[in-house]
Amino acid sequence: MRVTDTSDLWWKTAVVYCLDVETFLDWNGDGVGDFAGLAHRLDYLEELGVTCLWLMPFYPTPDRDDGYDIMDFYGVDERLGHLGDLVEVIRIAKDRGMRVIADLVINHTSDRHPWFKEARKSRDNPYRDYYVWRDEPVEGEGEPVFPDQETSNWELDEKTGQYYQHVFYKHQPDLNITNPVVRDEIAKIMGFWLQLGLSGFRVDAVPFLLDGSGVVDGAKLLPDPHGYLRSLRSFVGRRSGDGVLLGEVNLPREEQELYFGGEEGDELTMQFDFIAMQNLYLSLARHDARPLVEALLSRPQGSPDSQWANFVRNHDELTLDKLSDSEREEVFAAFGPEERMQVYGRGLVRRLPPMLEGDPRRIRMVYSLLFSLPGTPVLFYGEEIGMGENLEAEGRLAVRTPMQWTSGPTGGFSTARPSKLRNAVVPGGYAPAHINVQSQRRDPDSLYSFVRGLVQHYRASPEFGWGAFEVLPQPDPAVFAHSLRWDGRTVVALHNFAPHPLEAPLSLGEAAGGWRLERMLGGESLQLDDAGTAAVSLDGYGFEWLRLVSPEDPLQY
130: CATH: 3.90.400.10
Query: Measuring CA to CA, which residue among 256, 127, 272 is closest to residue 185?
Result: 127
Same domain, 97 and 205: yes
CATH code assigned at 475: 2.60.40.1180
On whether both 322 and 439 belong to a single domain, the answer is yes
Amino acid at 347: G
Instruction: Say yes or no: 126 and 204 in one domain.
Output: no
To the nearest 10°, the Cα dihedral for 90, 95, 98, 99?
A: 40
- Predicted structure pTM score: 0.96
Active site residue 8: no
| Same-domain pairing of 50 and 21 | yes
Q: Are 414 and 420 a contacting pair, CB within 8 Å? A: yes
Do 96 and 129 belong to one domain?
no
Are 423 and 313 in the same domain?
yes
Asked whether the beta carbons of 22 and 32 are under 8 A apart, the reply is: yes
Which has the closest alpha carbon to 451: 50, 54, 48? 48
- Do 317 and 191 fall into the same domain? yes
Domain that holds residue 403: 6-107+177-459
Cβ contact 25:405 at 8 Å: yes
Q: How far apart are CA 132 and CA 148, in angstroms?
A: 23
> Most distant CA pair in the chain: distance in Å?
81
* Boundary-marking domain end, from 459, 491, 507: 459
Roughly what angle, to the nearest 10 degrees, separates helices 225-240 and 180-195?
A: 30
* Residues ≥6 apart with Cβ < 8 Å to 394: none
pLDDT digits (tens, 9 = 90+) for 49-79: 999 999 999 999 999 999 999 999 999 999 9
Q: Does residue 274 form part of some domain? A: yes
Same domain, yes or no: 482 and 527 = yes
Residues 6+ apart with CB under 8 A from 191: 235, 239
Q: Is residue 299 part of a domain?
A: yes
Mapped onto helix, strand or coil, the DSSP state of residue 111 is coil
Got the DSSP string for 34-59?
-HHHHHTTHHHHHHHT--EEEEPP-S
CA dihedral 308, 312, 315, 317 (to 10 degrees): 110
Cα distances (angstroms) measured from residue 238 to each of 192, 232, 262: 13, 10, 21
The separation between the first and the last C-alpha atoms of the chain, rounded to the nearest angstrom, is 37
Q: For the chain, how many structural domains are there in total? A: 3
Q: Does residue 135 sit within a domain?
A: yes
The answer to whether residue 516 is domain-embedded is yes
266 catalytic residue (yes or no): no
Per-residue pLDDT at 455? 98
pLDDT tens per residue, range 228-253 = 999 999 999 999 999 999 999 999 99
Let me know whether 259 and 393 are in one domain. yes
Within 8 A by CB and 6+ apart from 307, the residues are 9, 11, 12, 269, 270, 375, 376, 465
Whether residue 439 lies inside any domain: the answer is: yes
HSE-up (13 A, CA, CB side) for residue 538: 32
Are 10 and 76 part of one and the same domain? yes
Distance CA 536, CA 546 (A): 10
What per-residue confidence (pLDDT) applies to 3?
A: 39
pLDDT lower than 70: segments of the chain: 1-7, 140-142, 212-221, 554-557
Question: Which pLDDT does position 141 carry in this prediction?
Answer: 65
- Answer whether residue 322 is part of any domain: yes
* Judgement on whether residues 217 and 362 belong to the same structural domain of the protein: yes
The residue out of 128, 145, 165 marking a domain boundary is 165
**Exposed / middle / buried, residue 491 (Cβ in 10 Å: 0-12, 13-18, 19+):** buried
Among the candidates 459, 476, 492, a domain finishes at: 459
Is 1 among the domain residues? Answer: no
Of residues 69, 85, 155, 204, which has the active-site annotation? 204
Residue 524 and residue 489 share a domain: yes
Which is catalytic among the residues 85, 103, 248, 305? Answer: 248
In a domain? residue 533? yes
Predicted confidence at residue 526, as pLDDT, reads 96
| 541 burial level (CB within 10 Å; 0-12, 13-18, 19+) | buried
What is the residue type of 432? Answer: P
